[in-house]
Amino acid sequence: MDLNNTSNRTVLAVVVVVLIVGAWFLGRASLSGEMSPSMSASGTTTGRTTSPATNSNQAMTETTGNVTAPVSSQESVSVSDQTAGMQVTVRSVSLPQTGWVAVRDSSGSVLGAGLFNAGTNSGTVPLLRGTTAGERYQVLLYIDDGDKQFDLHKDTLLMNSDGSVAGTTFTAN
C-alpha cells in the first residue's frame, strides 16, 4: 500500500477510526456485563434492576437467576399502605440472619433495599426512586451473602414453599 497516495491514507485513517470505535464499544459492553448490580448498606448504588414480571396480575417473580432459598417460619415482613415518597416504612421484619428488604415496582424494578440484622426489627428502606401515589409495590426478602452489599445475583432471594417469592405488597397513597 502506497502511503504517499492521499486516497490510501484516507482509507487507512477511516479503518483505524472504525477499529478504535469498535474496540471502545466492545470494551463498554464487556465492562457493563462484568459489573454486578449492588447497593451498599448506606443506600448508594451502582445500578441495575430486575427483569419485569410478565403479567401484572400474577405475583411478581424474580427473573435474574439469583440463588433462591425456601422460607422457614423464621422469615416474615410486614408493611402497611403508606404515603408515596423516597422511603418505605417496614413495620416488622424477621430474619434468621442479616438480610435485605427490597422494594420492587410493578415493572420489576428494584427501587431500593435496606439492610436488617438477624431477629425481628422495624425500620425504613431508602429508595433510589420514590413511590407514586396509587401504585402497588412488592416488598421482598433476601439473605445477605456476607458482604453487606445488596446484589440481586449474589444475595439469596427467599421463596415460599409454593415457589412464589417471600414478601408482601402495599399501595402508596
Q: Which CATH number does the domain housing residue 162 bear?
A: 2.60.40
> Are 30 and 55 contained in the same domain?
no
Distance CA 155, CA 73 (A): 20
Residue 124 shares a structural domain with residue 69: yes
Percent of the chain with pLDDT over 70: 64
Q: 11: domain range?
A: 1-34
- Angle at 124 (CA atoms; ends 80, 86), nearest 5 degrees: 90
| DSSP-H helix ranges across 35-145 | none
* φ, ψ (nearest 5 deg) of residue 83: -60, 135
Tell me if 110 sits within 8 A of 152, measured CB to CB. yes
Q: What is the pLDDT of residues 64-97, one digit of tens each?
A: 333 334 445 568 899 999 999 999 999 999 988 8
Same domain for 7 and 56, yes or no, is no
Residues 126 and 61 in one domain: yes
Closest listed residue to residue 163, CA positions, set 52, 75, 94, 70: 70
Is residue 162 domain-shared with residue 112, that is, in the same domain? yes
| Whether this model's pTM surpasses 0.75 | no
Distance between CA atoms of residues 171 and 173, nearest Å? 6
Tell me, yes or no, whether 110 and 160 share the same domain: yes
Same domain, 66 and 2: no
Model confidence over 8-51: pLDDT tens digits? Answer: 777 777 776 666 755 555 554 333 333 333 343 333 333 322 22
- Number of domains present in the structure of the chain: 2
pLDDT of residue 110 exceeding 80: yes
Examine the domain organization and report whether 30 and 108 are in the same domain: no
> Are 52 and 127 contained in the same domain?
yes
In terms of DSSP bridges, do strands 110-116 and 149-150 run parallel, antiparallel, or are they unpaired? unpaired
Query: CA dist 152 to 37, 133, 173, Å?
Result: 6, 26, 28
| Cell numbers placing 132 | 407514586
Under 8 Å between Cβ of 101 and 112: no
43 and 30, same structural domain? no
* Look-up of cell digits 403479567: 55
